[in-house]
Amino acid sequence: MTIAPQRVVSLHYVLSDRDGNVLDDSRARQTPLEYLHGHGNIMAGLERALEGQASGAELSVTLMPAEAYGLRDEALVREVGRGAFPVPDLAPGMRFQTPGDDGPEIVTVVEVRDDSVLIDTNHPLAGHTLRYRLEVLEVREATRAELAKGHPLPPGTAPNEVEDKKMP
């Protein structure tokens, strides 16, 4: 079976920057990535590269910043009041997750001042060229429940039991 829309894909990946520094490795965590193809669960550039691949396929994909987490936007670096952070010992480089207009966003502390904090709400990998080494482990048809949810069910969930449960 090959990767196509409405199929669940399980894969291992190694994510590196353009200099070869490893940023993430699913094998090191012993946790493959599982996603529903065609539902925007992963970057579009990765989906395009994986389309048509089958279990056992190994490939390398390079994504330019615009295809990955976007270009850096200096307008996303701004000053906020010190009171926005309940943490007493703020330091540059600290990251926090905050609610954003389009869902949760990561805020990186750039500089701590007496009454304010300079923050950067660009994604930490914005502006970076990313290299992925991918190994496709499994491709299967998504269940009706997974299609309804728009993502694979958590490991250990019996898909048929979820599908068969009726709402009161």
Q: Which of 53, 82, 47, 50 is CA-nearest to residue 67? A: 47
Give the pLDDT band (50/70/90) at residue 11: very high
pLDDT given at position 157: 64
Instruction: Provide CATH code, domain 74-120.
Output: 2.40.10.330
pLDDT, tens digit, for every residue of 42-95?
Answer: 999 999 999 999 999 999 999 999 999 999 999 999 999 998 887 888 999 999
pLDDT, tens digit, for every residue of 104-162?
Answer: 888 999 999 989 999 999 999 999 999 999 999 999 999 999 999 999 998 666 545 44
Residue ranges per structural domain of the chain: 7-68+127-153, 74-120
pLDDT given at position 98: 85
Distance CA 3, CA 70 (A): 25
Residue 99 has pLDDT above 70, yes or no: yes
pLDDT given at position 155: 60
Under 8 Å between Cβ of 109 and 78? no
pLDDT over 70 percentage in the chain: 92
Under 8 Å between Cβ of 81 and 115? yes
Q: Which of 102, 104, 124, 134 is CA-nearest to residue 35? A: 134
Q: Judge: domain 7-68+127-153, CATH 3.10.50.40.
A: yes
